[in-house]
Structure 1
Amino acid sequence: MLEVENISAGYGKNNVINDISFTVKKGELYVLLGPNGSGKTTTFRAVSGVIPLSKGRVIIEGIDLNREPELAKRKLGYLPEGERVYPNISVYKNLLFFAKIYDVDRGKIDVVLKEFGLEKYKNSPAGYLSRGMRKKLALARALLHDPEVIIFDEPFSNLDMSTVLRLRDEIKKMIENDKIILFSTHILSELQYFEDVNCKVAFINEGRIILERELEELAGSVNNILVVFRVTDKTRAMEVLTNLGYDVSIEQSGVVVRVSNYHKEVPAILKILLTHDITVYEARPKESPVERFYRDFVDISPPNI
């Protein structure tokens, strides 16, 4: 179990996060959701022991991070945002460096290289890898010592779709194997891919957790939304979709369609429009899902995102 109790932390004399508390059990996913600058990264850096706490404590599998930092960190794997690797040394040496830190047998490196499809890059400088492969290397490094708690900071940002899909599957497998998983995101719609696992969502803003819910309670917040389709012929698009029973209106930016399930209906609508020779330049939610979350679940004005 991971227990975070009333922690505050920041940089210099200024706290960025204040009185953050949450608990995550084995086989559970905990998502920190919030706009950029809300305190997600600082929270994870504090929980991982990268920056010191000014208040509170973090207990990792019964071990106090403040009192026994080395022992506690052996239970934890932290994947910062981006591809944090050492670019000028080989893929193998990137892993070897951390194997020595965590006293991991060198034989485990070859196992991890194979598991993450990095074998053929073993002797290549990490900086030569694609962004997706560097992300894989960073993930392999974070998991090398088989930690019980794995923390991902914005894991899906700036990745191609195939890498995103693989990473989602990897996270689900870890949850199935009773790992404690945390990740942060500012994209509410990303959460629906984890509706089939035990998941809690905490919304953070201005350094404080303002709401925590089970994911199933929030699942509907990415549905029943207005989607703007920027098309070649707005009048024709409205006619086609209205005849099919959709709630449609026209505005300057395009046709606006109300959908009950974004990820299922938008592809279907795109196909319908294309079969009627209507070119679609863009399809996007009229209102940010994060803004809808604020409006529907948090009684404050949404931030500019």
Structure 2
Amino acid sequence: MEYIVETHNLTKRFGKEIAVSALNLKIPKGEVYGFLGPNGAGKSTTLRMLLGLMRPTAGSVRIFGRDLKKDRISILRNVGSLVESPSYYSHLTSYENLEAMRKILGSPKEKIDEVLELVHLSKAADKKVKGFSLGMKQRLGIAMALLNDPKLLILDEPTNGLDPSGIIEMRNLIKRLPKEKDMTVLISSHLLSEIDQVATYVGVISKGKLIFQDSIKAMRKKAQLKIRLKVSDANNAYRSLLAKGIKTDYQDNIIYLYEQSDEAVAAVVEILVDEGYSVYRVEEEHQSLEDIFLKMTAGGDDR
């Protein structure tokens, strides 16, 4: 697998405080990588180091297979970013803002219409930015980040402050970019629900440490299904099942089964009934991704 971004023991200290600790990111080419963690976990600090805006205390960053420290300028020519709020001239139109940025980047003039179309701002090309909604301003910020036709796009909390329709627009745009532009997208968020909607890979950071990194499918597999049994005399029923070698768990007068096939559940119910226990309920209980995320990041503090 080809990785667009790789970090090796990336670390950032502020005095005695460690904001990012020995981070080893691996971001595959052509994927939407969700960088997930509570507010203050070290996400923005990491993104600033990836963009060369902040010098690491230790460790290294490789982007496109090259060392950021040695080839910073040439690497960043192929990187677009929207970190925190977008920068723009409110008294200018969206087209004029993009023209000013285009001249700095040296991009061809036709790129302006292309990125306006991509972020659905073509009809607002001649409108002054001071009259834009927050969602339109965010999309203009992404249009600016796309002017240099980047191979890597880095977005820091791009749905912050957006209304529901703005969030859906942003979500759809992010999902389109890898397919339409052969682009790799790194998106940070503290909201699992947002990452789950767009990401194909995910990294979870807590207290500056990377505690999970894999495909979103692998994360979903952690959302285990349990079979929940409510029975009479639950404590004795639980002990009886254990004595027969059936793997179970017991909590708050409820029996939980590890084996969840229909046949295994039916066999347990039959055993309980044969032994004189009343089975009141047999239910499926799903552990949500949100529960998994909260367990992973339990005890996180602000940083």
Same topology, TM > 0.5: yes
Query: 2:47 aligns to what?
Result: 44
The alignment partner of 1:53 has SS state of: coil
The alignment partner of 2:153 has SS state of: strand
Q: 1:7 aligns with which of 4, 7, 10?
A: 10
Unaligned runs of 5+ in 2: 227-283
Q: TM-score, normalised by structure 1?
A: 0.69
CA gap of 1:163–1:7, structure 2 versus 1, over 3 A, is same
Deviations 1:216-237 (A, max 9, x none): 1222567879xxxxxxxxxxxx
Query: 1:201 aligns to what?
Result: 202
What is the Cα deviation at residue 163 of structure 1?
Answer: 2.1
After superposition, where does 1:158-169 map in structure 2 within 5 Å? 158-169=161-172
Query: 1:278 aligns to what?
Result: none
Query: 2:64 aligns to what?
Result: 61
CA gap of 1:220–1:125, structure 2 versus 1, over 3 A, is same
Q: 1:155 aligns with which of 141, 158, 163?
A: 158
CA gap of 1:174–1:97, structure 2 versus 1, over 3 A, is same
Deviations 1:255-278 (A, max 9, x none): xxx97598xxxxxxxxxxxxxxxx
What is the Cα deviation at residue 108 of structure 1?
Answer: 1.4
What is the Cα deviation at residue 129 of structure 1?
Answer: 0.8
Q: 2:186 aligns with which of 178, 182, 194?
A: 182
Unaligned runs of 5+ in 1: 226-257, 263-288
Conserved 8 A contact 1:31-1:200:
yes
Quote the Cα distance in structure 1 between the aligned partners of 2:179 and 2:94. Answer: 28
Quote the Cα distance in structure 2 between the aligned partners of 1:106 and 1:143. Answer: 13
CA gap of 1:84–1:208, structure 2 versus 1, over 3 A, is farther
Query: 2:97 aligns to what?
Result: 94
AA aligned opposite 1:214: S
Q: Does residue 293 of the first structure (1) align with residue 296 of the second (2)?
A: no
AA aligned opposite 1:51: M
Deviates more, 1:67-76 or 1:80-89: 80-89
AA aligned opposite 2:119: F
Quote the Cα distance in structure 1 between the aligned partners of 2:14 and 2:125. Answer: 37
Quote the Cα distance in structure 1 between the aligned partners of 2:103 and 2:60. Answer: 28
Quote the Cα distance in structure 2 between the aligned partners of 1:69 and 1:88. Answer: 33
The alignment partner of 2:34 has SS state of: strand
CA gap of 1:73–1:54, structure 2 versus 1, over 3 A, is same
Deviations 1:38-59 (A, max 9, x none): 0111111111122222222222
**Structure of larger gyration radius:** 2
Identity %: 31
Q: 2:26 aligns with which of 23, 27, 31?
A: 23
Quote the Cα distance in structure 1 between the aligned partners of 2:298 and 2:90. Answer: 43
CA RMSD, Structure 1 to Structure 2 (Å): 3.0
Query: 1:70 aligns to what?
Result: 73
Q: TM-score, normalised by structure 2?
A: 0.70
Quote the Cα distance in structure 2 between the aligned partners of 1:222 and 1:165. Answer: 25
AA aligned opposite 1:184: S
Query: 1:81 aligns to what?
Result: 84
